[in-house]
């Protein structure tokens, strides 16, 4: 069918058949379907949605628009996690080595941060010497030898998504559940995974700010992934406060190293990381149930085997061999480090989490446009969990900045973004739901 007829059918509420979707994605990939036509179809889907069968067809066509990896050399289950993105979400840095230490292979192809959310790739690039974009041979070698490799997309995986996302981004059509579903899953399917676990973030620092929308996305992702042949479960997790006590790049790597080596483990981060690890181990057939999976994951943390995997992965990807022993030697330090004191004593009662993420962008630690550089050294640490009692001299954050001017601006932002009350707030769980 001609692209304009496919657009017309979707505009009028019809259901597209897989062959038409495949034709459209072929044209999207080779450029024969114009930007205007892609935008028009995206808007038609935005308003009229897609059936699960259409979303599966779109996902598979986008997967097949480029290279599709497979892992015949591995005789262990290949499982990954994808997060829809948040603030202080450095889970991947611990989760990949925990899962690897428990016996899974985790080829983690991650992205850069955009807007108020951070990106795993930017965090890893704050480690001096780390090759975040290795060639295929090195990527495969590190997965085989360490069980995990956290890298950026190097090959030609799901190129249709790259063009489609770029057009959606500038035509107000990103926020469509079937389009988000196909975008995320096409890349994960192209990575050749045996199973996937999704962390669908929900709250004022996430893409989906209410539980109904987050649950709708989680259900769509699970059903479409399963329909496309990749067993998938999803946890809906809270993003109404930064997950780690740090937000930025090098500061989040430091936080991850403290977590792996047992120096400091932010409780909420521990809860979410272990729950996701448990899901991965069940999906990979290495644990009979999430409780058993959680016990295995905790053991890998406590006995140091997860830390050892992380250290080895960093070294084999060109980073320092002593990162865990001497992180300050290998991670950038901002020139100005200053406390942010509260305006009153009381309890940390709530966050405008997006505002905290934007404070990191203000410092230069995030990007507004995809081509922007990031300053790896700046960011925030010492963020306190909701419910913490504070006095007037208790820092509510530590600002890592390039200059004093930034410190003043970011202090003001944080005073607006962090709510302090006289009474102790109600605490909410880190894990809000599960879809399987």
Residues involved in catalysis: 80-83, 120, 168, 183, 187-188
Q: Which of 120, 183, 215, 261 binds ligand URA (CB under 6 A)?
A: 183
User: 363-380: b or e for each residue (b if 16 or more CB lie within 10 Å)?
Assistant: bbbbbeeeeeebbbbbbb
For 251, phi then psi, to 5°, come to -65, -35
Contact 349, 420 (CB under 8 A): yes
Task: Give the 3-state DSSP-derived string for 104-163, with helices as H, strands as E and coil as C.
Answer: CEEEEEECCCECCECCHHHHHCCECCCCCCCCHHHHHHHHHHHCEEEEECCCCCCHHHHH
Q: Which residue in 50, 44, 54, 36 sits closest to 12, CA to CA?
A: 44
Supply the minimum distance, in Å, between the C-beta of residue 123 and ligand URA. Answer: 17
Q: 407: which 2 tokens?
A: 């410190």
Candidate ranges 6-14, 115-123, 180-188, 357-365; the one touching ligand URA (CB under 6 A): 180-188
User: Within 13 Å and on the Cβ side, how many CA atoms surround 417?
Assistant: 26
184 or 235, CB closer to ligand URA? Answer: 184
Which range, of 15-23, 173-181, 262-270, 424-432, touches ligand URA by CB under 6 A?
173-181
**Closest distance of CB 84 from ligand URA, Å:** 6
Q: Is 146 in the site for ligand URA (CB under 6 A)?
A: no
Closest approach of ligand URA to the CB of residue 372, in Å: 18
180 binds ligand URA per the rule CB under 6 A? yes
Nearer to ligand URA, 225 or 383 (CB): 225
167: contact with ligand URA by CB under 6 A: no
**Under rule CB under 6 A, how many of the chain's residues touch ligand URA?**
6
CB within 8 Å of 277: residues ≥ 6 apart: 95, 98, 99, 102, 293, 294, 296, 297
Among 174, 298, 398, 420, binds ligand URA (CB under 6 A): 174
Q: Which of 22, 101, 150, 184 binds ligand URA (CB under 6 A)?
A: 184
Q: In whole angstroms, give the CA distance from residue 117 to residue 52.
A: 28
With respect to ligand URA, which residue has the nearer C-beta, 184 or 190? 184
| Residue 181 or 381 with smaller CB distance to ligand URA | 181
* Residue ranges in contact with ligand URA by CB under 6 A: 165, 174, 179-180, 183-184
């Amino acid at each position: 069918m001609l692209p304009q007829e496919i657009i017309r059918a979707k505009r009028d509420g019809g259901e597209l058949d897989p062959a038409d979707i495949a034709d459209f994605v072929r044209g999207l990939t080779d450029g024969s379907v114009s930007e205007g036509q892609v935008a028009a179809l995206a808007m038609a889907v935005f308003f009229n949605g897609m059936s699960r069968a259409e979303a599966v067809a779109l996902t598979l066509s986008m997967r097949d628009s480029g290279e599709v990896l497979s892992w015949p050399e591995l005789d262990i289950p290949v499982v990954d996690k994808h997060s829809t993105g948040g603030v202080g979400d450095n889970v991947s840095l611990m989760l990949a080595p925990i899962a690897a230490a428990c016996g899974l292979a985790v080829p983690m192809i991650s992205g850069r941060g955009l807007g108020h959310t951070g990106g795993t790739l930017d965090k890893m690039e704050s480690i001096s010497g780390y090759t975040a974009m290795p060639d295929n041979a090195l990527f495969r070698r590190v997965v085989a030898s360490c069980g995990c490799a956290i890298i950026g997309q190097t090959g030609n995986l799901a190129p249709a998504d790259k063009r489609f996302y770029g057009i959606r981004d500038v035509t107000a059509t990103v926020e469509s559940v079937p389009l988000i579903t196909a975008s995320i899953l096409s890349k994960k399917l192209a990575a050749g995974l045996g199973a996937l676990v999704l962390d669908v973030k929900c709250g004022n620092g996430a893409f989906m700010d209410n539980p109904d929308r987050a649950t709708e996305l989680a259900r769509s992702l699970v059903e479409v992934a399963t329909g496309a042949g990749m067993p998938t479960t999803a946890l809906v997790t809270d993003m109404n406060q930064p997950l780690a006590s740090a937000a930025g790049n090098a500061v989040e790597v430091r936080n991850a190293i403290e977590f792996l080596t047992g120096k400091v483990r932010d409780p909420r981060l521990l809860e979410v990381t272990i729950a996701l690890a448990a899901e991965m181990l069940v999906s990979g057939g290495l644990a009979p149930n999430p409780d058993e999976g959680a016990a295995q994951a905790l053991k890998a943390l406590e006995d140091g085997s997860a830390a050892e995997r992380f250290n080895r992965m960093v070294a084999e990807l060109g980073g320092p061999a002593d990162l865990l022993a001497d992180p300050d030697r290998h991670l950038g330090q901002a020139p100005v480090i200053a406390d942010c004191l509260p305006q009153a004593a009381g309890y940390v009662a709530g966050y405008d989490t997006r505002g905290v993420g934007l404070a990191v962008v203000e410092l230069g630690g995030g990007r507004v446009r995809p081509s922007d550089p990031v300053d790896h050294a700046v960011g925030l640490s010492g963020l306190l969990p909701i419910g913490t009692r504070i006095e007037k001299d208790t820092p509510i954050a530590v600002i890592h900045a390039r200059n004093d001017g930034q410190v003043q601006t970011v202090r003001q932002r944080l005073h607006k973004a962090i709510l302090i009350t006289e009474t102790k707030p109600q605490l909410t769980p880190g894990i809000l739901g599960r879809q399987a």
